[in-house]
Homo-oligomer: A and B are copies of this chain.
Amino acid sequence: MFKEEIKVIDCTVRDGGLMNQWQFSEKFVRNVYNALADAGVDYMEIGYLSSQDAFDAKKFGPWKFCQERDLKKIVGDGEKKIKLSAMADIGRIEERDIPAANDSSLDMIRIACYVHQVDSAIALAHHCQEKGYETTINLMAVSTVGLRELNECLEDLNKSKVPVIYLVDSFGAFYSEDIDTLAQKYMERLPGKIIGAHFHNNQQLAFANTISAIINGVNYLDATLYGIGRGAGNCPLELLLSFLKNPKFRVRPIIQCIEEEIFPWSKKIDWGYSIPYMVTGTMNQHPRTAMAVMESDNKDNILEYYDTICNVVGSV
């Protein structure tokens, strides 16, 4: 009843950190680490890998940088309980700042890029592979990419040595039929590679679209505790693990961790379905304008927001 090939990647700290500048406490990150290990999750994405001079370290918590000394505080000196991943954005990490995998607690580096950055992403991924890491390339915002450009990009990725390529719905704009179409395209154009899925919840479809991806043969699945993440958030891990039939997964540690660590944050920061995020999702736009209104005193003025967005879109 289950597919052994399926791997679940929890992005709670990395994607959730977009909502609080990665100001998660050590206790929070350690509890998430232990809960994910107990739940049988395959990877924990613990943050971004960024060069120290790319960002002001005073503004951001340690999980924006994933320095080895901070990782060690979580995993201790013994054997790790779960594989760790970090995400790298093109242009925000220097190759020289990436330690050899042997000197790092990280197992996997995932390169996030837009379609025009794919050559840089492949080069960085190859560099990480040479240093001993598992790698993926997460091609963002594909809902805005033209067909010719996407085909070319997939051709480049196909020629690369990167073994895992992600289908990413950055704007929460896709319906299940889009996932069917794109997952099939990725499978056809990237023979022999593993396809991953990372979806946002602007239209309450992140979990449903992840199921569609699984049905289409996608095997790397991203989720977060209680859906925490930027804007409308992500596919909720508790729903995904309940759906998957692999007996190695356990939901109970996830429920416990949500109660102990996520509920307190849910009272301080706002993620999840709301009308402004729904509007950017249906309009296939970056959620930045919705995030701005959700962080303002104006967040309940949804008609005004809707009219602004419609007028902007309509004026092209």
Contact = CB atoms under 8 A, between A and B. Distances in A.
B205 A207 contact: yes
A203 interface: yes
Contact of A204 (B212, B236, B275, B303): B236
Contacts of A215: 177
A238 interface: yes
B278 A239 contact: yes
Contact size range, A: 35 or more
For A208, A238, A278, A310, the residue with the greatest tally of chain B CB atoms inside 10 Å of its CB is A208
A204 B203 contact: no
Nearest to A306: B255
A259 B301 contact: yes
A204 B307 CA distance: 27
Interface in A266-316: 272-273, 275, 278, 282, 300-303, 306-307, 310
B208 A176 contact: yes
B176 A303 contact: no
Nearest to A302: B259
A300 to B, nearest CB: 6
